[in-house]
Structure 1
Amino acid sequence: MTDPTLPLVSGGERETRRTRTLTGIGGDLRTVAQAPRVRVHDAVETARESGFDALGTTPVRELLDRLADAGRRFAGHGPPDDLAPVADYAERVARASGLPVGWVRTSVHWLARGLRHAAEGLRAQSPTGDLGVYDDPAYVRERDVGLAFAPRIRVLGGVMPANDPAVYAWPALAVAMKLPVVLRPSRRDPFTAVRLARALLAAGVPESAVHVLPGDRSVGETVTARSDHALVFGGSDVTARYRDDPTVETYGPGRSVAVLARQPTDRELDTLARGITRAGGRTCFNLTRIVAVEDCDADTLAAALAERVVAATDGPATDPATDVPSFPDPDRARRIDELAEGAGQDVTAVLRSGPRLREHGDHTRLGPTVVRSDEFVEELPFQFAGVTERSQSSPTELLRALDSAYLGVAVGDDYEAAMARSPRVRKVYGGGYPATVDLRETHETFLAEFCYETTTYDPS
């Protein structure tokens, strides 16, 4: 490897005595600096004091201009030699994580767009619908009730995932809200966090407000413990330990669901198939559980979805035409394949050419899979969903049995209304899977719900 060590970012870019070699598809990819835990303490304290004050004295519209500039730089439209070319960055992420490079490029677009349009996200979370409360927290309700929209934290931590670069829009939005961030990126994708930090700092965001600390699990645990509030992304084993901690927002398996009370139209089927396959099937918003109720025949539904998902283009992760993700770790792919095999009858097996598990030397791919199952399936990190029949369930009984879901799609008015009123489903879409993810929408909740609070304020 001839590239310099990928640094940590905290008070500028820094190398460390301890490093690790990140290996992915095709061999060694980069040497990555590893943050010692003492650096985490320093970063959090710097963010809490200097970072919070520096952002607090910067007008919100100026911060938004800097975020928009950072978005352009992240997408490769900054000054020459500002950041590595997008094509090089995207290929690194694809080879490190197995996420198809085409989706990485799509995520670059959506992340950059989110930074350019951060003002819309801030307005959606403002109690007045105006940006002014981020500069002057005082506002009035009912003509004579004085209130304030004030930060309840001074630093936001983040233990970030490698499943989709676009998720970094949320900590970037926190910076626009005048809250400094300390991030521990995934060991599979440190590239996105460092690229975002470089873009933000080059655009003029104070360096005391943005910290990226690659490292092992203990670094993430320290970031979470030391920050005033934290976002933690991961599997059930990671999120379970924070389930009862009010200072941590966990984002784990989404178990997103679609409930169909009638046979779907071709357009609706197309949207559901997209919900299974988009982003390589690795995100919380991918549909995992497809439930047929009332007038929807589960077998017909499963067959129609299987025909659509097997059409996903297979190929190397670095090919822009590829839709199917790869696994740099073949053992992990085999374990996931075993779980999929035991989840139900594989309806896609007769439609695909060859087995679901395909090994290609330095990586492995799992073909898109729809199973017909008597029970609700567990989420797996590839293009996978289970179709289940629940003909006797009322909307309330069904939602109780599902436990929880990040995203819910309803085809049938009774189920749509029940989902919208249920605390078990965080985002509800009627009539089909959504085409895009919008920063004006919640990501389970709004950032402002745990970063800000409404207080009484009666100024003199």
Structure 2
Amino acid sequence: MTTADLFSLSAIGVSGPYRTLRPLVLNDVTGRPIAELSVVPSGYVSRTVAAVRTADGMPAAERLAAIKRAAAIFSEGVVNGLDPVGYRNLVSRGSGIPLRVVTDAAQALTRVLATIETSSLAGRPGSAACDWRDPGIGHGRAVWGRRGDVLAVIAAGNHPAVHGLWLEALAVGYRVVLRPSTQEPFTPHRLVAALHEAGIGRDQLVLLPTEHSQVDRLIDLADFALVYGGDEVTRKYAANPKVLVQGPGRAKIVITDDVQWEDHLDAIVASIADDAGLTCRNTTAVYAERRPTELAEAVAERLGVLRALPPEHEEASLPVATEEGARRLEAYLRTKAKGASAVPGFEGAATPLEDGGAVLRPALHVVAGPGSRQTGIEMPFPCAWFAPWDPSGGLASLHGSLVVTALTEREDLIDALVENPAIGNVHIGGWRTDWFRPGLPHDGFLSEFLMSSKTVARRQ
């Protein structure tokens, strides 16, 4: 394949597409070249962010209407020469995400675009107006507004649906500077192009693929930043007030002995393995007050039917990585799992495919207790740690969980989970940890970080 055959992913600046002379060649999971990405130099970054910062904002009604129009363009249109089928296949082949996961994610993004007005306002205080011109201002009312003008997004590539979050910032009037991941740049590229076609100004939203060395510069140039990453990224930016980190989810399920886990096996399995185990809401650890080993074996029986297939196969349900990348993950997990008991056949082994790449098989282990160090280890494929649950031990082992599903009838436990500030979200009963809908807080509302309220009083 020559470079002329590769799909071209340009940067998208305020003047339109920008292509570099020596683009970065991206390979698919088999190691074959699939696309070329224009990575912009530091000078282009500075000029573009400066142009975005000085741009006038779009009126709210125009902005919201354009985002809603983009739903049909993104989901049904030919964008950058790709129809929806071509786009989804490119994402799957390039990233190793199963095709049906990509399809579901594209549908989820379409729903976010179509319902953006409702979801972007969900975090607004009920007593606050969005505009000082609101006739209800009267002799004084709270007005909800932006704390800044420019948001930098350092995007993740683990799942296309992560791009649903920054759309809320665009909806409330932030100009967005988006740095895509080289793992999956296809979705943000299509999304940005669709939004421009729908009427979002090019000076309101730009796509800037950069070297990793430019990330801190992007953050410095913006008013606020939304950054995705693991523990290292979380530690790096934890003390930076202008950065909101979207880190590991470490979602968990707790099952007390007044509930039969057999009645909820479908939800437990889906929490671990749906979306190929790739999202931050997929379950990392399951704590059962009775028979955790038997539960792990029951989950293994369900997951044992999953086949090793290329990601673009319509029945694929497990992620695929390059053989080298899969072996690294396999070795890492083997090291971290020392002292845990793997369910036979579910050690997280990589299965090579005939045409290249390797399927990441599920990993299921039983550990000594909820405080075992392994319960916080999150992998980019279905991986869960099963532990006995002792309610007398408190909730310390659940701290830092994005979601906790509680399979229990004990209202005192539910009270403690809901009131605990170190637990992100609580699902009660047979709700999967990965369940979510637009308009609900993910890791809090994004607007809690980007917006604030002030009193405005006006003489009539």
Same fold (TM over 0.5): yes
Structure 1: distance between partners of 2:442 and 2:49: 24
Tell me what 2:60 maps to.
59
Going from structure 1 to structure 2, the CA distance change for 1:355 and 1:411 (only over 3 Å counts) comes to closer
Tell me what 1:74 maps to.
74
Does structure 1 conserve the Cα–Cα contact (< 8 Å) formed by 2:10 and 2:19? yes
Tell me what 2:301 maps to.
307
Shift of 1:47: 2.1
> Under a length normalisation based on structure 1, what TM-score does the superposition of the two structures give?
0.90
Does structure 1 conserve the Cα–Cα contact (< 8 Å) formed by 2:309 and 2:316? yes
Name the aligned partner's letter for residue 351 of structure 2.
Answer: R
Shift of 1:399: 2.1
Aligned with 1:325 (options 311, 319, 323): 319
Residues 217-251 of structure 1: CA deviation (Å, up to 9, x unaligned): 12322222221111111122223210111111111
Structure 2: distance between partners of 1:279 and 1:21: 27
Structure 2: distance between partners of 1:74 and 1:129: 35
Q: How does 1:349-360 map to 2 (within 5 A)?
A: 349=345, 356-360=349-353
Name the aligned partner's letter for residue 30 of structure 1.
Answer: A
Tell me what 1:34 maps to.
39
Going from structure 1 to structure 2, the CA distance change for 1:235 and 1:137 (only over 3 Å counts) comes to farther
Name the aligned partner's letter for residue 384 of structure 1.
Answer: C
Shift of 1:266: 4.1
Going from structure 1 to structure 2, the CA distance change for 1:309 and 1:444 (only over 3 Å counts) comes to same
Q: How does 1:18-417 map to 2 (within 5 A)?
A: 18-26=22-30, 27-50=32-55, 53-55=56-58, 58-60=59-61, 62-76=62-76, 78=77, 84-128=82-126, 133-136=129-132, 145-262=140-257, 263-293=259-289, 296-328=290-322, 330-341=323-334, 342-343=336-337, 344-349=340-345, 356-360=349-353, 362-374=356-368, 375=372, 376-377=374-375, 378-391=377-390, 393-394=391-392, 397-412=393-408, 413=410, 414-417=412-415
Deviates further, 409-418 or 340-349: 340-349
Name the aligned partner's letter for residue 14 of structure 1.
Answer: Y
Shift of 1:3: 3.9
Structure 2: distance between partners of 1:113 and 1:348: 40
Does structure 2 conserve the Cα–Cα contact (< 8 Å) formed by 1:152 and 1:452? yes
Does structure 2 conserve the Cα–Cα contact (< 8 Å) formed by 1:185 and 1:193? yes
> Under a length normalisation based on structure 2, what TM-score does the superposition of the two structures give?
0.90
Name the aligned partner's letter for residue 155 of structure 2.
Answer: M
Tell me what 1:15 maps to.
19
Deviates further, 430-439 or 223-232: 430-439
Going from structure 1 to structure 2, the CA distance change for 1:91 and 1:144 (only over 3 Å counts) comes to same
SS at match of 1:208: coil
Name the aligned partner's letter for residue 278 of structure 1.
Answer: D
Going from structure 1 to structure 2, the CA distance change for 1:309 and 1:417 (only over 3 Å counts) comes to farther
Name the aligned partner's letter for residue 47 of structure 1.
Answer: V
Name the aligned partner's letter for residue 28 of structure 1.
Answer: P
Deviates further, 97-106 or 256-265: 256-265
SS at match of 1:318: coil
Residues 359-409 of structure 1: CA deviation (Å, up to 9, x unaligned): 225211121121111224211111100001132x43xx4421333111111
Going from structure 1 to structure 2, the CA distance change for 1:455 and 1:244 (only over 3 Å counts) comes to same
Pairs aligned (count): 441
Structure 2: distance between partners of 1:24 and 1:123: 38
Shift of 1:135: 4.2
SS at match of 2:395: helix
Shift of 1:265: 4.4
Does structure 2 conserve the Cα–Cα contact (< 8 Å) formed by 1:345 and 1:371? yes
Residues 135-172 of structure 1: CA deviation (Å, up to 9, x unaligned): 4476879x965222111010111010111111111111
Structure 1: distance between partners of 2:307 and 2:108: 22
Structure 2: distance between partners of 1:348 and 1:287: 20
| Structure 2: unaligned runs, 5 residues or longer | none
Structure 2: distance between partners of 1:83 and 1:422: 49
Shift of 1:300: 2.1
Output the aligned Cα RMSD: 2.3
Going from structure 1 to structure 2, the CA distance change for 1:227 and 1:452 (only over 3 Å counts) comes to same
Name the aligned partner's letter for residue 51 of structure 2.
Answer: T
Does structure 1 conserve the Cα–Cα contact (< 8 Å) formed by 2:79 and 2:194? no
Percent of residue pairs identical? 26
Going from structure 1 to structure 2, the CA distance change for 1:251 and 1:65 (only over 3 Å counts) comes to same
Shift of 1:5: 2.8
Going from structure 1 to structure 2, the CA distance change for 1:178 and 1:267 (only over 3 Å counts) comes to farther
Structure 2: distance between partners of 1:382 and 1:355: 9
Structure 1: distance between partners of 2:441 and 2:356: 38
Structure 2: distance between partners of 1:228 and 1:428: 31
